[in-house]
Amino acid sequence: MIFLFISGGMELGGGLLVAAGKPTATRQEMAELLYNLLFVDLVLALGLTALGFFTLPALLRFIRTPEEILAEAVLYGRVYLVGLPFLMLYDLTKQCVMGCGDSKTPLRAVVATSVMNILLDLALVGPFGVAGAAGATAAAQIAGAVYMLTHLRKTELDTPFRREMLKVRYAKEIFRLSTPNSLQQASGTIITTVKQGLLGGLGVEAIAGFSCAGKLSSLLMMPVFGFVQSTVFFIAQNTAALQPGRVKEGLREGRRILLVYSLGVVAV
């Protein structure tokens, strides 16, 4: 989670740039923007992966991971980190495609990679334990990244890449929009890390219970995250198209739908 909050910021920032630029940008301008997004994302991903490999044991000890599961936690984390660059590219490309107005292709990718992850979990966890679980996740992330990048090549990135396309002004704009969201997501990660550290002193059972409840909470919140991001892209597109009436209408409808969903989750 510590490494993924940066990915989350890149996702939303990149998606916003694409959604805002789509109504007026030429194919050349859109290709330049996407190539710059992918380059910045990949550089960050490789840097985070390297950092994670070296700091993971210390980070796990910092949050008081019990000694009897420390070795497995390090193993899981390092295998998972192998897939981190692909995960970040996968998540960013999904958001960029959504920013272009296509939400069906990312949906197909998510369904396919989720099924792949589950099947690989069933096949690999038994013989390989936590390494199998992390490997299954990494393999699904690699497959998703390849699929989405191939889709982008066929649609928005049909212009060949040239090194002069990489421009500092794009990087500045990417970080301007991505950093606030990364910091916002970091707050949740810091809170969770503090809780994990406190639970570390209570033993493995407390950590397992907290983890299970956290996964269930994340599952229930996923529709909210997806809907909110779609609403953000809708606002960006209509703001760029000078349609303030549609922005207000979309916000009203969004609040209504989220209220109904929230009440349903509380009731369940």
DSSP 141-179: HHHHHHHHHHHHHHTT--SPP-GGG--HHHHHHHHHHHH
pLDDT band at 10 (very low <50, low <70, confident <90, very high): confident
Per-residue pLDDT reduced to its tens digit, 32-63? 889 999 998 999 899 999 999 899 999 888 88
pLDDT for the residue numbered 210: 85
Q: How many residues does the chain have?
A: 268
Whether 209 has a pLDDT exceeding 80, the answer reads: yes
What is the Cα–Cα distance from 259 to 227, expressed in whole angstroms? 12
- Asked if 98 and 15 touch (Cβ cutoff 8 Å), the reply is yes
Neighbour count for residue 245 (Cβ, 10 Å): 8
Bin 162: left if φ > 0, else alpha if -120 < ψ < 50, else beta.
beta
Whole-angstrom Cα distance, residue 91 to residue 76? 21
Answer whether residue 113 shows pLDDT above 80.
Answer: yes
Segment 140-184, tens digit of pLDDT: 999 999 999 999 988 888 888 888 888 888 888 888 888 887 888
pLDDT score for 231: 83
Q: Which two tokens mark 159?
A: 């212009």
For the chain, the average pLDDT equals: 87
Q: Of 86, 80, 104, which is closest to residue 38 (Cα–Cα)?
A: 86
pLDDT band at 233 (very low <50, low <70, confident <90, very high): confident
